[in-house]
Structure 1
Amino acid sequence: MDTSVVDQTKLETFVMRAIDDLSAGYGGVMVSLGSKLGLYKAMAGAGPISPKELAAETGCAERYLREWLNAQAAGGYVVYHAVSNTYELSPEQAMVLADEDSPVYIPNAWKVPASMWFDEEKALEAFRTGKGVAWGDHHGRLHCGVAAFYRNAYRKSLVPEWLPALEGVVKQLDAGIDVADIGCGHGHSSVLMAQAFPNSRFHGFDTHSASIEEARRNAEDAGVAAQVGFHKANAVDYPGKNYGLICFFDCLHDMGNPVAAARHAVEALAPDGTVMLVEPYANDRVEDNNSPVARLYYAASTTLCCAHSLSEGGHLVLGAQAGEARLREVFQKAGFRHFRRAAETPFNLILEARR
């Protein structure tokens, strides 16, 4: 290329942007190591700590810890005290890195890009052929990472915020209704609702057998197995009628035929039933989706969401940044007359549909 047309200032700025991203990728490996070795947990609430003290606390080698701690300090993931040559995890950093029940706990999320790297050859083949890659054909880190990451977000918002935003649904759940959780994955959403609404019955459906097995274990561990059932089925032929609530948690955009899924929901709903659609946050126009969150979603959509939709025939490949207008169109085509945005977060749209 003709380098005479290159603006050196713009070049240097973009190179540093690319280096920032590369640094973040390296940092993700450090986060995973820190989580799996219990380093963040050992630092949480401990105050300033030296590499030697952290080594004694965790049973890890001091020299490795010193380098790891310096990487964390360089990235702003721990605080370095130069006078005492010690390192400290602030309360805010601990919420993100050490508290596994925190809604902002991030280490599990790094399993997703790890799976994307493991599956690079599949992605290359999909790009070249246009074929899909089914959810179950990805590396196992994907399923575990997505389930663990979303579990905490749902725990924070599903029962206290999202369900109350739906018209009359909490009252119905308290009285007792049947609920279908479509694309339930590891079942965390069903389990959370079952714990909050003991009079209702919950039915989780997913096409991934390993996830269904894990969901059943999660229900047993939570003590709600008698109230929650999980079954292998897809979004267009799961059994049951007269559901008071049908939920799609971050999954409709992955489906090969979302209109057919919405149409089956129309048929399976009770006359006064509601669909709760939780989707990744997105504006309707590409130029308005210019943020780190949108970039993350578009990247995941490229190798995961669109790939699965194409593996199911790809009748309508929504992708993870569909936006409210396209989702509304899906439900209108399926026969829903009521569709509204009930709530939103920086990461999700919570939408309500009724017949």
Structure 2
Amino acid sequence: MMTDTALTVGLETFTHFEDRLQQMINQGSLTLMLSIGFRTGLFEVLGSVDAATCEEIAARAGLQTRYVEDWLTVMHTGGILEYDPLFQTYRLPLEQAALLLQRGGTHSYATSVQWVSLSGKLEDEIVSCFRAGGPLPADLLTQLQSQLLEDHSVSIMNGLFKHVLPIVPSLIMQLCEGSDVLELGCGSGQTLIELARTFPASRFVGYDSSAFLIDKARRSADDEQLENVTFIQRDLAEIHAIEAFDLIMAFDVLQDQSRPIRVLDQVFTALRPEGTFLMQDLARSRHREINLQHPLAALLYSISCLRSMAITEPDQSADNSRWCQEMALQTLEEIGFTAIDVHALPHDLVSDYLIARKPGSPAS
């Protein structure tokens, strides 16, 4: 029989959790509208003016006033925007702008926010995977991820040149002088096209398993009239190259592979002696207690769940374990890489950046 104290504690817990649920629903709605603000350019418009009316904001963004008014109301209700009832103007405070604008602050949360809307687009397919097993339709997740990256190409390229490339010693100088570079999982080719444009003395190759994305990348390269970049449709576990590249990059792709260990083994073979492997991976530990300390822990696990559904079969060589930072480091070392280092970069809260070097040829 329950005591009065137990009933009181139970009621308090019930009420507290109900409050949390209501907050989650509100925050979920706000997150969706944040994503819409990023994709429509509304935040960029707000960041370019001190204060403006709904009509002025809609006109600058080229959007329908009636819907912009609803969006602005949500942003004000959610504490994102300030509203002046006398002049009926909206303002994006500098503190918010630093985190929301792609050009402002150390990093932008735009990509993290859009992972939520991306999951929503896949909800029916995700439910089907829960019931019948995976994988997700072959190119669906890849195409949606590519769209997400294209929506934020400016901030991604800024991060690449400001934060990612500088962590590899002397890399910028080597690219200026001329290097052979391979990107695994190149998608629609944005990264390589920008690198090919910036470093004309270097030669760039991109592999991706998606015919749709490779075709898109080739068209973009042709439009730019770039002759130092090539895109090839290929299984990332079948690189089939021997000491052909000075630098191999894999941004956000290893955790999607059914055979990540084979991919890394192929990378080692394809690198020249003293070549560098640069890898971006989800900042996920084998230990749950470590992951729970991450400020975006729920998002990390959501992304991990979504990506696991894109894998057609488990990697038997990894004993069916989930891919994580510890496994990546262990595999790199066992394959023969040296000078392995892990970086957490300020522009990307959900990723780790790993650098590994292939040893030089033994002295004869």
Range into which the TM-score falls when normalised by the shorter chain: 0.7 to 0.9
- 1:181/1:46 Cα in 2 relative to 1: closer, same or farther (>3 Å)? same
Q: Is the Cα contact below 8 Å between 1:252 and 1:279 reproduced in 2? A: yes
Residue 13 of structure 1 pairs with residue 19 of structure 2? no
Q: Give the equivalent residue in structure 1 for 2:89.
A: 86
Q: Give the equivalent residue in structure 1 for 2:362.
A: none
Residue 340 of structure 1 pairs with residue 363 of structure 2? no
Q: How many pairs were matched up?
A: 348
Q: Give the equivalent residue in structure 2 for 1:144.
A: 147
SS in 1 for 2:79: coil
- Partner Cα distance (2:183, 2:142) in 1: 24
**How far off its partner does 1:206 sit?**
0.5
Question: How does 1:1-355 map onto structure 2 within 5 Å?
Answer: 4=7, 7-35=10-38, 38-54=41-57, 62-94=65-97, 104-107=107-110, 111-133=114-136, 136-138=139-141, 140-149=143-152, 151-221=153-223, 223=224, 225-241=226-242, 242-290=244-292, 291-303=294-306, 305-309=307-311, 311-315=312-316, 316=318, 322-323=324-325, 325-342=326-343, 344-345=345-346, 346-355=349-358
Show structure 2 runs of 5+ residues with no match: 359-364
- Partner Cα distance (1:169, 1:45) in 2: 35
Equivalent position amino acid for 1:236 in 2: A
- 1:207/1:169 Cα in 2 relative to 1: closer, same or farther (>3 Å)? same
- Partner Cα distance (1:98, 1:340) in 2: 30
**How far off its partner does 1:336 sit?**
2.6
Q: Is the Cα contact below 8 Å between 2:108 and 2:155 reproduced in 1? A: no
- Partner Cα distance (2:226, 2:105) in 1: 25
Equivalent position amino acid for 2:354 in 1: L
**How far off its partner does 1:276 sit?**
0.7
**How far off its partner does 1:283 sit?**
4.4
Equivalent position amino acid for 1:13 in 2: H
**How far off its partner does 1:262 sit?**
0.5
- Partner Cα distance (1:139, 1:173) in 2: 28
- Partner Cα distance (1:101, 1:212) in 2: 31
**How far off its partner does 1:198 sit?**
1.9
Q: Is the Cα contact below 8 Å between 2:246 and 2:271 reproduced in 1? A: yes
Equivalent position amino acid for 2:80 in 1: Y
- RMSD value over aligned CA atoms? 3.2
SS in 2 for 1:192: helix
**How far off its partner does 1:350 sit?**
1.6
SS in 1 for 2:310: helix
- What TM-score does the superposition give when structure 2 sets the normalisation length? 0.81
Show structure 1 runs of 5+ residues with no match: none
Q: Identity rate of aligned residues, in percent?
A: 24
C-alpha deviations, 1:226-261, integer Å up to 9, x for none? 111111112121244321011111111111111100
**How far off its partner does 1:187 sit?**
1.6
**How far off its partner does 1:285 sit?**
2.3
- 1:101/1:196 Cα in 2 relative to 1: closer, same or farther (>3 Å)? farther
- 1:141/1:264 Cα in 2 relative to 1: closer, same or farther (>3 Å)? closer
**How far off its partner does 1:135 sit?**
5.0
Q: Is the Cα contact below 8 Å between 1:162 and 1:343 reproduced in 2? A: no
- Partner Cα distance (1:318, 1:344) in 2: 26
SS in 2 for 1:273: strand
- Partner Cα distance (2:344, 2:200) in 1: 25
**How far off its partner does 1:62 sit?**
4.9
- Partner Cα distance (2:285, 2:81) in 1: 34
- Partner Cα distance (1:347, 1:115) in 2: 16
- 1:130/1:61 Cα in 2 relative to 1: closer, same or farther (>3 Å)? closer
Q: Is the Cα contact below 8 Å between 2:143 and 2:213 reproduced in 1? A: no
Q: Is the Cα contact below 8 Å between 2:278 and 2:354 reproduced in 1? A: yes
After the TM superposition, which parts of structure 1 deviate over 6 Å for at least 4 consecutive aligned residues?
A: 100-103
